[in-house]
Amino acid sequence: MGVRRVWTGNEACAEAAIAAGMRFFAGYPITPASEIAEVLARRLPEVGGSFIQMEDEIASIGAVIGASMAGAKSMTATSGPGFSLMQENLGFAAMAEVPCVVVDVQRVGPSSGVATHPAQGDVMQARWGTHGDHPVVALAPWSSRETYDVTVKAFNISERFRLPVVILSDAMVGHMSEDMEVPGSLEIVERPRPGVPPEEYQPYRAAGDGVPPMASFGDGYTWYTTGIVHDDTGFPCTGHPPTIDRAIRRLNSKVTEDVAMYEEYWLEDAEAVIVAYGSVARWALAAVKGLRAEGCRVGLFRPVILWPFPARELAGALGRAALAVVPEMNLGQILGEVERAAPKDVRVVGVNRVDSRMISIQEIAGVVKEACSS
């Protein structure tokens, strides 16, 4: 039995990270994510952890990666501009297979944009912000309670697969206070550790699941790490194309399909399906309820995980539908993924706002009605 708290999404994120075992945070203040750092500056010393305010976001992600290599579950939190500055090091973490969690509380952009209002403009930055083919996991919560659950899940995925995981919150979810029950028990995943003595350890020799066991710096294991493509020993293999090919393909195939997270509402007889995520999904669900009350056969598919995009699950959800409506606080970043996943006879329509205001229930319902009648 858990206890009840009234937390914002940012407060829930900070508390969940501690519950997941996170003991190192490095960050730089930025609206609308700063409350995560404020809570952790107070709470981490209480549980034996470390908090550092760095000089900028590049240094923040660098410190987070270093702490993880030394064995600590680690995290940083930022918003769009800071997330951009972290991209090169996120590529390093993907190549060096260093687990860490990055929280991006999205605001209107590009550049400084509108710092205090919500947006969903970093969806593609989370997927393709760093260069090269690389694995990505990104999660988009719609409430304080789900922010708590998603943060724990982010650490579990990051540790299990040894890669950076991104939480794509937004200013609405991050700043909205909600009553929630804090879970009394949690499933916590720890990173795979070496099962061989130091003299036999090769830091990038993957087990059958494609994930190599990870020693910590200082444990007595020799571990050479680099952002250059490397072989099992960790040393560069840039003159051997088959090893390069094998290494990059392994990085991109180690995340398994069981990470898919999504919810479905009234899809059994749905002729139109709204596909929405993050805070927008709250208004989409309200629109579905209102349309149902009017006799419209409408359902909701809500992906909690955006990357890898649950294309197969969405295709199944659209099985009986002729229409998919995709409301987003951007100009259509998930719309293209829905078009790729949808059967050819399903029409896909976007509802987009980038003026710093939320998409209303009436806007979503109106587009569904108009599209259904045309």
Quick: pLDDT tens for 55-108.
999 999 999 999 999 999 999 999 999 999 999 999 999 999 999 999 999 999
Q: Model confidence over 274-308: pLDDT tens digits?
A: 999 999 999 999 999 999 999 999 999 999 999 99
pLDDT digits (tens, 9 = 90+) for 304-333: 999 999 999 999 999 889 999 999 999 999
* SS3 per-residue string spanning the chain: CCEEEEEEHHHHHHHHHHHCCCCEEEECCCCCCHHHHHHHHHHHHHCCCEEEECCCHHHHHHHHHHHHHCCCCEEEEECHHHHHHCHHHHHHHHHHCCCEEEEEEEEECCCCCEEEEECCCCHHHHHHCCCCCCCCEEECCCCHHHHHHHHHHHHHHHHHHCCEEEEEEEHHHHHCEEEEEECCCCCCCCCCCCCCCHHHCCCCCCCCCCCCCCCCCCCCCCCCCCCCCECCCCCECCCCHHHHHHHHHHHHHCCCHHHCCEEEECCCCCCEEEECCCCHHHHHHHHHHHHHHCCCCEEEEEECEEECCCHHHHHHHCCCCCEEEEEECCCCCCHHHHHHHCCCCCEEEEEECCCCCCCCHHHHHHHHHHHHHC
CA distance 374 to 372: 6
The Cα–Cα gap between 206 and 230 comes to: 13
User: pLDDT category, 373, cuts 50, 70, 90?
Assistant: confident
Radius of gyration of the chain, Cα coordinates, nearest whole angstrom: 21
